[in-house]
Chain A
Amino acid sequence: MSTLILTVRGLSAKIAGQQVVEDVSFDVPSTGVTALLGRNGVGKTSTIKGILGLIERRGEVTFYGDSDGDGDPGVRLDRQRTHRIVQRGIGYVPEDREVFSKLTVAENLRLAERDANPRREFVAELFPDLVARSGQLAGTLSGGQQQMLSLARALINTNRLLLVDEPTKGLAPIIVGEVADALEEAAKTVPVLLVEQNLQVVRRLAAGAIVIEGGRVVHTGDATELLDNDDMTRRFLGVHAEAGGQTPADSEATS
């Protein structure tokens, strides 16, 4: 059993007074990629936003990233404001990229720099296309380029945990591969909690899997075991894992 970087206990969250996450509890190990899975509208994005304090939430969220030693009592994040949480070393890649469209690529990256020594070279090596487009307005980038920028914004700092929300959503297959490459590279040095609909990407990257249904955790375990179990993938995700593609979008509101 590896050590933990984050524990979530009894997390509930609301958007505009409506309950979107209810009594969710899970652990995120301090290494590798942990996938947060579920059909559309079950509360995955809201869970991530709840951890970050971007939406109204209650419950216990404890972060163990402030020291490397054993016996770290952890820091409660659930009473802190979003910017304080992020400053503790939690990088966030939001659903739908949310790059600042009227800022240039370079300005988007400069805005994201928190550390005294931002990892500009690392980001430039990982995303050479962004260097070439540094003076371009982010709003004029393609969807794939915007996703790279959104990832780069998180990776430019030395994080202790990355929260990545549907990074391959709406991208062409070749770009999906590039995004997965970048995440794989990032995950070598930082644990990642990944919300992802593309099960091929999950199979490639994730060690652990947490499944949410109706705003609650219904399964926790090994990612590959889950994806190899046809019954569970159909029941929890509504798809045959062997089909490999994305879980089908249903008519529920986006989580």
Chain B
Amino acid sequence: MSTVILLLITGLGLGALYFLIASGLSLIYGLMGVLNFAHGSFLTLGAYIGWEVARVLGADNWAVFIASVLVGAVVGAAFAAATEFFLIRKLYERHIEQVLVTVGLALASVALFDGIWGTDPIYVTGPSWLGGTTEILGASIPNNRFILILAAVLVLLGIVAFLKYTRYGLIIRAGVENRSMVTALGIDVRRAFTVVFAIGGAAAGVGGVLASSYYGYVSSGIGGSLLIFAFIVTVIGGLGSLSGAAIAAALVAVLQQFANFYLGGTGDFVVVLLLAVVLLVRPSGLLGSKA
């Protein structure tokens, strides 16, 4: 029983990490039809800058930890908004070029991160509580999983509130459904594009700082490795669906954990299998709109 609890909660923690990346990917694709392969770089930069904040201000401190998460969010948002403004904006409706430019940016940014911070992983520490465990029904759960789950829930609620109660949120929801009609109402939808990129980048930046806590280190490849699973989550949840991404993130990560434990480390394989099944049975994903 304790093993099941452990796998379930650690799975949800990993799912929270997936969601922090997939939420932005899904919103960006839903509104703009852009498959952003550079999204992992937003996460990686957030992780490095978060580590820099902790290094300068002192790691074993909750205030510094929260500050590093917030700085990671701001840096992720700024990087993402700049990417949209300078690279993506000129390439709307040119999907091949978009893929090429975002893949190029992902590769270039990894090289840049290696150049700045080196190719070796940088090991991070945080408040001592994060390194400990909490007993739940006999299972010792690593504390950083709770922080990840809490952060993902807060990000989900924040994005939902933004989409529901702000004018930009209204524009984004309408734009996901029918972008050209939004422009035909006299709205410059490109501003919403930048906002969506910034939101996605902020969530990824938060994810970066928390991922470094989850893995215990920062490296230039951290975003790229998570991005693969975030794409799978986005497709399974339904491209453009935030709630679909949340459900799929939890589902994929929990399944991955259980398969790794009970099926001899086949978690990644089972996730890809799930992706194949969803694409065959329900190509629009769990909550995606039918084309």
| Binding partners A and B | yes
> Across the interface, do B189 and A83 meet the contact criterion of CB distance under 8 Å?
yes
Is A111 in contact with B177, judged by CB distance below 8 angstroms?
no
Contact B184 A94 (CB under 8 A): yes
Contact indicator B185/A111 (Cβ below 8 Å):
yes
A204 contacts chain B at the CB level, 8 A cutoff: no
Q: Report the contact-size class of chain B (Cβ under 8 Å from the partner).
A: 10 to 19
Chain A's closest residue to B175 (CB) is A100
* Distance between B211 CB and nearest chain A CB, rounded to angstroms: 32
> Once the chains bind, are B173 and A110 in contact (CB under 8 Å)?
no
Q: Is A98 an interface residue (CB 8 A)?
A: yes
- Asked if A111 and B184 sit within 8 Å, CB to CB, the answer is no
Residue pair A111, B186 in contact (C-beta under 8 Å): no
- Contact residues in B for A102 (Cβ distance below 8 Å): 173, 177
Which residues from 81 to 113 on chain A have a C-beta closer than 8 Å to any C-beta of chain B? 81-83, 86-87, 92, 94, 98, 100-103, 107, 110-112
Q: Write the nearest CB–CB distance from A72 to chain B, whole angstroms.
A: 21
Q: Tell me, rounded to whole Å, the shortest Cβ–Cβ distance linking B119 to chain A.
A: 45
What 4 A-B pairs come out closest when comparing CB atoms? A86-B186, A82-B183, A100-B174, A87-B186
Judged by a CB distance under 8 angstroms, whether A52 is at the interface is yes
Chain B's closest residue to A163 (CB) is B184
Question: What is the minimal beta-carbon distance from B3 to any residue of chain A, in angstroms?
Answer: 41
B182-208 near A? 1/0 per residue, CB < 8 Å:
111111110000000000000000000
Question: Are B186 and A98 neighbours in the complex by a CB distance under 8 Å?
Answer: no
- Chain A residues in 8 Å Cβ range of B188: 81, 83
Pick 20 A–B contacts, CB within 8 A, sort by A. Answer: A81-B183, A81-B188, A82-B183, A82-B184, A83-B186, A86-B185, A86-B186, A92-B185, A100-B178, A101-B177, A102-B173, A102-B177, A103-B177, A107-B173, A111-B170, A111-B174, A111-B182, A111-B187, A112-B185, A114-B186
Per-residue B-contact encoding for A43-70, CB less than 8 Å = 1, 0 else: 0000000001010000000000000000
